[in-house]
């Protein structure tokens, strides 16, 4: 079962990166394989937000849409994704943003664990998903540079 976990230090604050990753409606603009994203519902829960969203991913002639619940927790600078429906047997995803000592940069942890329901789909899309997930943190860092400006060394 494919699993990917990475830590990446970026020259943007934990709040900036949290806000950027929380803005899921913009994913189709810059995220590999993400063709569309539709938020079905948004529920405010004290200091957290729960989103239910459909994401369509594609590669060549293959398109798949899946539904997740996304829990945005700004106080903890954490985003947890729970799989609801689609082509996966399961999918678990989380983002954690930790401020570094300089207060101007942070550590971004990205974790994803998933398995396709269909063995055929796993063969067709699995390798591309692995490549895309490995590029996710880079894509978000590039997006942060574009939105917030290039960080000074």
Q: For 5-59, what is each residue's pLDDT tens digit?
A: 889 999 999 999 999 999 999 999 999 889 999 999 999 988 999 999 999 988 7
Domain containing 12: what range? 3-148
The CATH number linked to 130 is 3.30.530.20
Q: Which residue has the tokens 């899946």?
A: 66
Is the pLDDT assigned to residue 129 strictly greater than 90?
no
Does residue 153 fall inside a structural domain? Answer: no
Question: pLDDT over 90 for what percent of the chain?
Answer: 63
Does residue 83 fall inside a structural domain? Answer: yes
β-strands 78-85, 34-45: how paired? unpaired
- What pLDDT score does 126 carry? 66
Burial of 92 (0-12, 13-18, 19+ CB in 10 A): middle
Does residue 46 fall inside a structural domain? Answer: yes
Judged by DSSP in three states, 28 sits in: helix
Does residue 33 fall inside a structural domain? Answer: yes
- Our count of domains for the chain comes to 1
* Gap between the Cα atoms of 40 and 87, Å rounded: 18
> What mean pLDDT is reported for the chain?
89
- What pLDDT score does 151 carry? 57
């Amino acid at each position: 079962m494919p699993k990917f976990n990475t830590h990446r230090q970026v020259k943007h604050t934990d709040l900036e990166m949290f806000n950027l990753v929380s803005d899921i409606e913009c994913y189709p603009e810059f995220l590999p394989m993400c063709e569309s994203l539709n938020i079905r519902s948004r529920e405010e829960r004290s200091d957290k937000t729960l989103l239910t969203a459909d994401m369509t991913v594609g590669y060549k002639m293959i398109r798949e849409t899946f539904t997740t619940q996304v829990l945005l927790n700004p106080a903890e600078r954490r985003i947890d994704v729970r799989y609801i429906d689609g082509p996966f047997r399961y999918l678990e995803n989380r983002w954690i943003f930790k401020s570094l000592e300089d207060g101007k940069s942070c550590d971004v942890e990205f974790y994803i664990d998933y398995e396709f329901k269909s063995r055929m789909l796993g063969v067709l899309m699995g390798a591309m998903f692995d490549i895309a997930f490995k590029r996710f943190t880079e894509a978000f860092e590039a997006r942060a540079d574009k939105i917030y400006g290039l960080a000074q060394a």
